[in-house]
């Protein structure tokens, strides 16, 4: 197990500087344009693919870095450039992680390369879990997958919503109910291969922020996928469902608290989310740092009453608080990420803690940055207006702040806090 460190090693510093250069030279200059266009920035993704930032190899290398700092460092730099464009670059990773976490070696080898395409023909992927009536309450998902034994095919019907890259993805990973009696334990994930009939894009959403990232409904109308598209395979699914049914029977039914208490109960999907939350925290740190830097520069150069506005404690103390919160958020993110990579259990929901604190920090710091820039901060002449809109997503996706607090409180108390 790698020791926890707060210092990047030389190799990591080199990668960080390279990512920062891409964020500063390619992402940041394109940010305002793609925010206005509200479209996927394909040329920027292609540019990222050309230099090696948009590839499975790169993310796998960072993901398996034993210090745990590879992914947070990557996210912070790219999102420092621009959140919407960065999400277009890393959004495919959500679907890839879904396959890495639950797929067989063959599924990983077949589907993940198709998610990224290649530098001449880049592709994106989508992870589709949320539904109109099932956001935080994942267990109330309705999309249904039914096995057609005669054809060894799964038939999927339902509507997914708010899917990043939904409908424009080459490969969609879709979570569906296979046993409605078992709540979230009766879910399974499926690959929907490119060009599968029955899958279509529904409404594309116009958004408050991260507007360069495509978000849409995905409609699944009698979508038939081969048995081999069930992530993990049928045998593993049948075993898992049998275990879940047995547990539910022993506990007296689904929803009855088990003997070990709620805080200790987690299904595989929840554990995966916990582990991926520090990455979202790192995105938030990137946006917060970007806004803080603009505000600091501005406060040092903008003069009112014959002196720079930073000469006022009211402004300087805000900047001191902003930087303190950003550094604290990064420390929580790095700790959780190191724990996740090294298999240390989150006994105090440290993954959720990092996401909660970092995303609230991004919202607060970007709002302070707008205030420090005054009228200029409120216009699109300066980037903090966009950063403030972008930051609002962090407290919503991958589990809202309230859900993070719920996870932390349940973990700490072992009680079914509602
Ligand atoms: C831009 C964007 C991209 C997204 N990308 C994806 C994606 O790629 N794939 C995907 O599957 N989903 C995606 N989502 C969906 C996202 O994960 C959900 O929006 C999120 O989980 C919240 O669900 P909801 O919107 O239904 O809110 P709700 O669950 O309806 O919550 C509404 C409010 O009620 C609060 N609340 C709910 N339950 C409780 C409770 N028990 N206690 C206290 N407060 C509670 C919430 O915190 C929130 O403030 C995306 C969303 C957006 C906006």
Tens-digit pLDDT profile for residues 283-323: 999 999 999 999 999 999 999 999 999 999 999 999 999 99
Please indicate whether residue 235 is annotated as part of the active site: no
What is the rounded distance in angstroms from the CA atom of residue 291 to the CA atom of residue 294? 5
Q: Catalytic residue among 76, 131, 350, 398, which?
A: 398
pLDDT at 415: 95
Distance 73 CA to ligand 1 centre (A): 26
What is the rounded distance in angstroms from the CA atom of residue 150 to the CA atom of residue 161? 31
Q: Do the beta carbons of residue 180 and residue 241 sit within 8 Å? A: no
Whether ligand 1 lies within 6 angstroms of the CB of 273 is answered as no
What is the rounded distance in angstroms from the CA atom of residue 171 to the CA atom of residue 128? 11
Distance 405 CA to ligand 1 centre (A): 14
- Could you tell me the pLDDT band of residue 345, with boundaries at 50, 70 and 90? very high
Whether ligand 1 lies within 6 angstroms of the CB of 135 is answered as yes
pLDDT at 253: 59
What is the rounded distance in angstroms from the CA atom of residue 254 to the CA atom of residue 249? 8
Cβ burial, residue 405 (10 Å; 0-12/13-18/19+): middle
Distance 133 CA to ligand 1 centre (A): 10
Query: In this structure, how many other beta carbons lie within 10 angstroms of the beta carbon of residue 6?
Result: 10
Q: Do the beta carbons of residue 125 and residue 180 sit within 8 Å? A: no
Distance 137 CA to ligand 1 centre (A): 8
What is the rounded distance in angstroms from the CA atom of residue 367 to the CA atom of residue 387? 9
Whether ligand 1 lies within 6 angstroms of the CB of 87 is answered as no
Enumerate the H helices of 202-252 as residue ranges.
234-251
- Could you tell me the pLDDT band of residue 269, with boundaries at 50, 70 and 90? low
- Could you tell me the pLDDT band of residue 256, with boundaries at 50, 70 and 90? very low
Backbone angles phi, psi at 210, to 5 degrees: 35, 50
Whether ligand 1 lies within 6 angstroms of the CB of 136 is answered as yes
End-to-end CA distance of the chain: 36
Residue nearest atom 14 in ligand 1 by C-alpha distance: 162
Mutate to test the pocket of ligand 1, among 85, 93, 98, 130 (most ligand atoms within 8 A of CB): 130
Distance 396 CA to ligand 1 centre (A): 6
Query: Stretch 344-361: mean pLDDT, rounded?
Result: 97
Whether ligand 1 lies within 6 angstroms of the CB of 165 is answered as no
Contacts of 260 (CB under 8 A, 6+ apart): none
pLDDT at 225: 98
Q: How does 113-127 read in b/e, with b if 16+ C-beta sit within 10 Å?
A: eebbbebeebbbbbb
Residue nearest atom 24 in ligand 1 by C-alpha distance: 135
What is the rounded distance in angstroms from the CA atom of residue 126 to the CA atom of residue 151? 26
- Could you tell me the pLDDT band of residue 263, with boundaries at 50, 70 and 90? very low
Residue nearest atom 4 in ligand 1 by C-alpha distance: 162
Q: How does 243-265 read in b/e, with b if 16+ C-beta sit within 10 Å?
A: ebbeebeeeeebeeeeeeeebee
User: C-alpha angle with apex 121: 115 to 126, nearest 5 degrees?
Assistant: 25
- Residue % of the chain over a pLDDT of 70: 95
Output the pTM of the full model.
Answer: 0.95
What is the rounded distance in angstroms from the CA atom of residue 397 to the CA atom of residue 147? 31
Residue nearest atom 45 in ligand 1 by C-alpha distance: 402
- Could you tell me the pLDDT band of residue 1, with boundaries at 50, 70 and 90? confident
Beta-strand runs (E) in 178-281: 187-192, 199-204, 215-226
Whether ligand 1 lies within 6 angstroms of the CB of 129 is answered as yes
Q: Do the beta carbons of residue 159 and residue 202 sit within 8 Å? A: yes
Residue nearest atom 12 in ligand 1 by C-alpha distance: 130
Computed over every residue of the chain, the mean pLDDT equals 94
Kindly give the number of the ligand 1 atom that is closest to the alpha carbon of 401: 47
Query: Stretch 113-136: mean pLDDT, rounded?
Result: 96
Kindly give the number of the ligand 1 atom that is closest to the alpha carbon of 213: 1
Whose CA is closest to 191, among 95, 59, 61?
95
Residue nearest atom 25 in ligand 1 by C-alpha distance: 135
Distance 392 CA to ligand 1 centre (A): 12
Distance 102 CA to ligand 1 centre (A): 23
Whether ligand 1 lies within 6 angstroms of the CB of 81 is answered as no
Distance 130 CA to ligand 1 centre (A): 8
- Residue % of the chain over a pLDDT of 90: 89
Mutate to test the pocket of ligand 1, among 216, 396, 404, 418 (most ligand atoms within 8 A of CB): 396
Query: In this structure, how many other beta carbons lie within 10 angstroms of the beta carbon of residue 324?
Result: 11
Q: Do the beta carbons of residue 362 and residue 389 sit within 8 Å? A: no
CA 89, 90, 92, 93 torsion: positive or negative? positive
pLDDT at 126: 98
Whether ligand 1 lies within 6 angstroms of the CB of 130 is answered as yes
């Amino acid at each position: 197990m790698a020791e926890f460190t707060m210092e990047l090693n030389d190799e990591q510093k080199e990668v960080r500087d390279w990512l920062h250069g891409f964020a500063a030279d390619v992402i940041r200059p394109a940010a305002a344009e793609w925010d206005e266009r509200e479209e996927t920035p394909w040329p920027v993704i292609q540019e990222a693919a050309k230099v090696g930032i948009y590839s499975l190899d790169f993310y796998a290398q960072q993901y398996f870095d034993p210090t745990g700092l590879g992914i947070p460092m990557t996210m912070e730099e790219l999102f420092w450039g621009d959140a919407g464009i960065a999400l277009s670059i890393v959004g495919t990773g959500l679907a890839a992680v879904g396959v890495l976490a639950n797929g067989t070696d063959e599924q990983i080898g077949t589907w993940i390369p198709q998610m990224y395409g290649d530098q001449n023909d880049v592709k994106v992927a989508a992870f589709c879990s949320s539904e109109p009536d099932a956001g935080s309450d994942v267990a109330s998902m309705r999309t249904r997958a039914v096995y057609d034994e005669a054809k060894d095919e799964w038939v999927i019907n339902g509507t997914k919503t708010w899917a990043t890259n939904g409908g424009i993805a080459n490969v969609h990973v879709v979570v569906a109910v296979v046993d409605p009696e078992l709540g979230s334990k009766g879910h399974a994930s499926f690959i929907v291969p490119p060009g599968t009939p029955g899958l279509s894009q529904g409404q594309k959403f116009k958004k408050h922020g991260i507007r360069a990232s495509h978000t849409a409904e995905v409609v699944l109308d009698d979508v038939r996928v081969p048995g081999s598209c069930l992530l993990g395979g049928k045998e593993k699914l049948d075993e898992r469902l049998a275990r879940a049914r047995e547990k539910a029977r022993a506990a007296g039914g689904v929803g009855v608290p088990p003997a070990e208490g709620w805080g200790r109960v987690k299904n595989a999907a929840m554990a995966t989310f916990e582990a991926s939350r520090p990455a979202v925290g790192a995105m938030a740190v990137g946006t917060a740092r970007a806004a803080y830097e603009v505000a600091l520069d501005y406060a040092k150069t903008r003069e009112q009453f014959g002196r720079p506005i930073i000469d006022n404690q009211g402004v300087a103390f805000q900047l001191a608080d902003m930087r303190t919160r950003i550094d604290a958020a990064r420390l929580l993110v790095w700790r959780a990420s190191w724990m996740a990579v090294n298999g240390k259990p989150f006994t105090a929901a440290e993954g959720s803690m990092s996401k909660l604190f970092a995303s609230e920090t991004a919202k607060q710091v970007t709002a302070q940055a707008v205030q420090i820039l005054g009228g200029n901060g409120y216009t699109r002449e300066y980037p903090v207006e966009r950063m403030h809109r972008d930051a609002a997503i962090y407290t919503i996706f991958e589990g809202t702040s309230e859900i993070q607090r719920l996870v932390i409180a349940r973990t700490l108390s072992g009680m079914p806090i509602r």
